[in-house]
Structure formats: C-alpha cells, structure tokens
Chains A and B, each alone.
Chain A
C-alpha cells in the first residue's frame, strides 16, 4: 500500500472514531443547533430602513463662511433646490402636471371637508372631528356643522367690526373653528396660551392690540379686562352644555358698556338653518392674514409674541407631512390627538397637518394640563399623539418601576436589541404577550398607537429626553417616537428625529435629527464654541420659509454629530 492509501485509511478510521462517539448528548446539541438556525431564519426581519440612511441624515453645504459651520439641509431638500414652501394645492380643473399653490389655512379646511383626493380605495374619505368630555363621553361633530360654525362666527365677528381676534380657549373644536373663521373672513387670529394669570392675559391683549376675544367663561377675567383694556370691542363666550341656559349676553352693571357680548351658541342657533353652509369662494379671496402666537418660556417671564405669516405656517405643515415616509403618512384611518396645548406651534402645525391629511382629530381640553399619557388618552384611542416630554418622562418612570422582575427585564433587553441592533420595531409575539400587561394604560381599543410626537422647547426648561429613555418608551408604547427641537420664531419644528431612527447613544439629551424640509440649519461661532474642519458647533441658526423673519438665532449652542444630526452641546 502506498503512502496515500495509508493516509486515507487513517482518515477513515479517525472520522469513524469521532462519530462513533455519538451519543444522546450529541443528538441534543445538534437538535438545539438546528433549532437555533431555524429560529434565526424564520424570525429574521429586514431593518425598517437602510442603516446607512441613518448614518448621514443631513447634507452639509460644500462651502462655508468663516466663523460659521456649513449649512445643513434635509436629504430630501438638497442644496440648490428651494426649501419646501407649501402644500402644493391643486385647484379643481388645474393641469395635473402643473405645480400647485402653496396654499394657506383656508385650503386646509377645504381639504379636510373635501376628503382624500388621490385615486384609490380611500378616495373621498374624510376624517372625523371628536371632542372628549370627561372619561367616557365622546362627541362626534359633523364636518358640515363645523363649516357652518366657521362661516357664522366669522361673519358675526367681522360684521361687528372685529379685526384682531384673540382666541383664549383650551384645546377644542371652537379654537380650531375660530382660527379658520379668521382665515376665511380676513381677520388676524391671535392664539393665547390658555389658563394664564389675569395680568398676563391683559398684557398679552395689550401687546397684540386685540379688539375681539373668543373665550370660555370662568377662565377669562372679564371685569378686570374691561377696566384695564378699554380697546376691547367684542366678546364671544363659548359656553358649555351645562350652563347654556344662563343669560351670558347680559353685561354686568357698570362694567364694559361698550363691549358687545354674545355667545357662540346663540350666534349659531339664532341664524337661519340654511345660513353659512357654504365657505367663501376660492376665486377673488383676499391675501391671507397673519397668525400671532405667544410663546411661553419659563413661568414668570414675559411671553414672546411672534407673528407668523400664512406662508410660514403652510411651509411648516407641508414639511411635517413630508417628513413621514410615504407608507406611513397620516390618513383617514388615523385618529390624531393633540395632548399638548394648541398654542404651541409644533402642536398646532401637526394638528393642521392631520386635518389636511384627512385624519380624524380628537380634542381633549384637559389633556395638555394633565401631562400624563393615561389621562390624556382616557376615553379615546388615538393612533397618533402629540405630547410633552414631561408626560413621556412620567410614563417612563411609572412603567420602568413596574418592570422589576427578571423575566420582564430580559424581555425588555430582547426588545431593545430588536430596535437598536436590528433596526426593527419589536413585533408582538407569544413571549411579549406576557410583557403587555406591564405596558402603560394608554390607548384602549380599537386604535393602535403608532406614532408619538414630542418637542424640546428652546429656553422653556422642558425636561430633556435621552435616547435610552426614548428607546424604552418605544417598547413600552409600541409606537415610534419623533423628538423635535422647537423655538418661538420657527413654526413647527427646526429639526426632528427620523421616523425610523431607533439608535441609542450614551447621552443625556437625545439628538434632534436632521433639519426638516422647510428649514436649514447653520451653527455660528461663539466665544467658546467654534466650528473647525473636524467638528461643526456653535449657536444654532435656523433659516427657511417656516421661520418668522426668515432667519433666527435660537440662543443655544448646538453641535452637528458625525451622522449629521443636531444635538445640544
């Protein structure tokens, strides 16, 4: 026998010898191994978005000025192209291929009552408008009724000579209706943050030079205002069901003789049934008026008065619609709940975006004050929610303190791994079913909460959310979370984290994602923080069509991280 024959014989004997050791444990190990591979193959999911899309989220301009960082823009609004200026409203009969108008607030309500325009199964569907009262009672408002209210209230206020209309109301249908009434009947709307001390209300009335107030009894200090603010001409009470029978039109003796007082309900019910059913026509309508908003920073400081043009607002609304991936845009299936004050432009802009997208919108007047997700969503099951970082932190605290057992912590670890390692939202499965009962009690049937918006307000002392907290909340709520950076002079948000960005970093305050399609961001050198070739940092400057006055310095120092997302230093 030759050398090779010997070698082969040896090999044969060795292999036989090795597998001759096969025993019950071997079978066990092999079974486990095959099981593991099968499990991996069958449970494997593609990440929600390509990981490299998250690795560089904004475009830097190739040239920068001395003392400034490059200008950063969203990947969807490249340099050299105009930023997103409006809603691209296509009028009836206009060419299909022509560019639409930027539009204004009036187009939002027209779209809300017209229903979905795109071809498809949802064509013609409209959203619903709901009011949540207490814990159970939900009122459904017919869109035609709201259109009628918009017309009658707008007509009434403008007939009485109203021009600058202060809206001092909690989140409610009446707030939105008055805003649209102002838009349709050529008046300037001024939205005041609700539930302010008397002197703050008077100071805001003075600064805004208002002549009309739409408000609710009980929260508006009528006597004091009449004494201290003689320019007030007109007052409309929005009276709730319970106190409708009282005579609100009567002005108390000796006060405010010159003020014309009426109630919302009287204006509506005293008009003929057929009046106000049709909105003013599109043809020949006047230029849209501005909307003034008061930005509240810390309590005790003077509110900043900001005038947004209609163009500012529609640009912000369009960019918020655009920032969601096409398959995940808001639509008639969604129920949108603003659980933060509509006096914040971020909330207002998102609510208007939801109306424009024909999503259903629910109003809950106590939600913003509660700062608690469970309270805000009582009686209603939203699929999209705007809330405050405070409320999210509270939910996080409560839920994580319930998650103490070993099993719960391991499941939590598994789901975090899904998010951060694989880039997928954890799927519901048998294993996670056990975990479900620990979830916070938000969103009863039938809605499935899918998206939460929250915003950091520059200079307002909002608690900051770390990326770990946000990731935990994604697991607790089963919804995606978008965290935005907002400021007084920027309608909507300056920057907002991506829909599919689940990454976790070691940070105190999460990054704010890339600029939206309606903003560009630049960092200007300060004494301490300067941009170098290696790192962009400095005071955050925001420019774009959604910024009041086109450019604003936020007064805080930011840094562009390696993935071109904006963060605080």
Chain B
C-alpha cells in the first residue's frame, strides 16, 4: 500500500496539462497503426476464392494382356490389379489382402477368375502360359460360376474397373 500511495503522490505532484496535445504522440501513433491495420485486414484486403487441392488425375482405362498386367502386383510401389473374366480391377485399396504378403497375393497382376470361382488361392489356379489364350472357364460347374459372379459383383461395388484383359495378339481388337 505504501508503494501505491507513494506513486499517487508522485503523479499528483506533476504539473497539470503536462500531456501533449499533439496527434503524434507515441500512444496515438500506435493506436492509429492498429486501427489502420484492422481496417485493412477487415475491409480492404482481397482474398481469392476458396480453392481445394487439385484432384487426383483419373486413371486411363487401358487394355492389358496377361504379360502387361504382370507388373501390377503391388511390388516396387506399383498398384495392385487383378483380372476377373476380362475386367481388370484396381484393388490397391485392398492391398492387405491382394498385395505382397497378403493371403490372395497370388492373384495380384494375374487373371484371378478360376481361383475365385473355385475358392482356391493356389498357384495352379492361374493360367501358366502368359502368351496363350485366356482361361475360358468352360469346364466349371454352375456353383463355381455362381461363386465367381458373387465375387465379381462385390468387386464392381468396391473397386474400380481400370481396364480390360485380352490375350496377347488381340490387343487391337476393341
């Protein structure tokens, strides 16, 4: 309390009218600066219209042969594709299943129709001869075809069709 009284006395002792009448005191300049800055940011500063980051470019639909599909197995940072009855699906989002080390890894980059139809994920379900004709699945029964249809429907719902699979030598046919 002593201190307060002492300061009050000090200030009271100052001559009255000691404050400057000028506009350009440091306090006024500071406040004026603040005022002008706020005016500028609130009223005058133009802001460009809102923008979103650019979209991912669309994947170009293309024609694969068993050989050109092969690299799309998820290794070396490649996306994971697999083919079902001539349609190539981008299953990169299901990388845990279809990518390297996943339970369905054998299908990555290959024609998976027969394996899905038979419910088997073994190597021998894949077509060995990459340059030969595509698997026609002609020897499969009704149950297997139904299972395959189920898989295909699920794929079409979940994944994008990014291309079609044609045997080597027929790529030009539409």
Contact = CB atoms under 8 A, between A and B. Distances in A.
Contact of A18 (B27, B34, B54, B161): B27
Contacts of B31: 26, 29-30, 33
A529 to B, nearest CB: 17
A36 B52 contact: no
A518 B114 CA distance: 40
A503 B46 CA distance: 13
Interface stretch (A60-68, A115-123, A166-174, A451-459): A60-68
A51 interface: yes
Nearest to A532: B57
Nearest to A16: B11
B47 interface: yes
Given A29-B35, A36-B42, A51-B49, A21 B54 contact: no
A402 interface: no
B52 A52 contact: yes
Contact of A32 (B27, B35, B57): B35
Nearest to A503: B49
B52 A55 contact: yes
B173 to A, nearest CB: 15
Contacts of B1: none
B27 to A, nearest CB: 4
A54 interface: yes
Contacts of A196: none
A3 interface: no
A36 B47 contact: no
Contacts, number: 96
A21 B28 contact: yes
B52 A56 contact: yes
Given A21-B28, A69-B58, 19 more contacts: A16-B11, A18-B27, A20-B19, A21-B26, A24-B21, A25-B22, A25-B23, A25-B25, A25-B28, A29-B32, A30-B31, A37-B38, A51-B49, A54-B49, A60-B55, A63-B58, A65-B60, A66-B60, A563-B51
Given A12-B7, A64-B61, A65-B60, A36 B35 contact: yes
Interface string A10-28: 0010001011111111100
A534 interface: yes
A38 to B, nearest CB: 12
A63 B38 contact: no
Contacts of B49: 51, 54-55, 420, 503
Contacts of B59: 62-64
Contacts of B38: 33, 36-37
Given A29-B31, A30-B31, A23 B58 contact: no
A470 to B, nearest CB: 15
B62 A66 contact: yes
Give the 5 A-B residue pairs with the shortest CB-CB distance, closest first. Answer: A533-B57, A51-B50, A70-B58, A21-B25, A64-B58
Nearest to A29: B31
Contacts of A91: none
A69 B54 CA distance: 15
Chain B contact patch, size range: 35 or more
A40 interface: yes
Interface of A: 12, 16, 18-26, 29-30, 32-33, 36-37, 40, 51-52, 54-56, 60-66, 69-70, 420-421, 503, 533-534, 562-564
Contacts of B57: 533-534
13 contacts: A12-B7, A21-B25, A25-B25, A26-B25, A29-B32, A36-B39, A51-B49, A63-B58, A63-B59, A63-B60, A63-B161, A64-B60, A66-B62
B160 interface: yes
A22 B51 contact: no
A471 to B, nearest CB: 12
B18 interface: yes
A563 B55 CA distance: 10
B77 interface: no
B162 interface: yes
A388 B50 CA distance: 30
Contacts of B7: 12, 16
Contacts of A29: 28, 31-32, 35
Nearest to B56: A62
B11 A63 contact: no
Nearest to B62: A66
B20 interface: yes
A64 B27 CA distance: 64
Contacts of A69: 58
Contacts of A18: 26-27
B38 to A, nearest CB: 6
Contacts of A503: 49
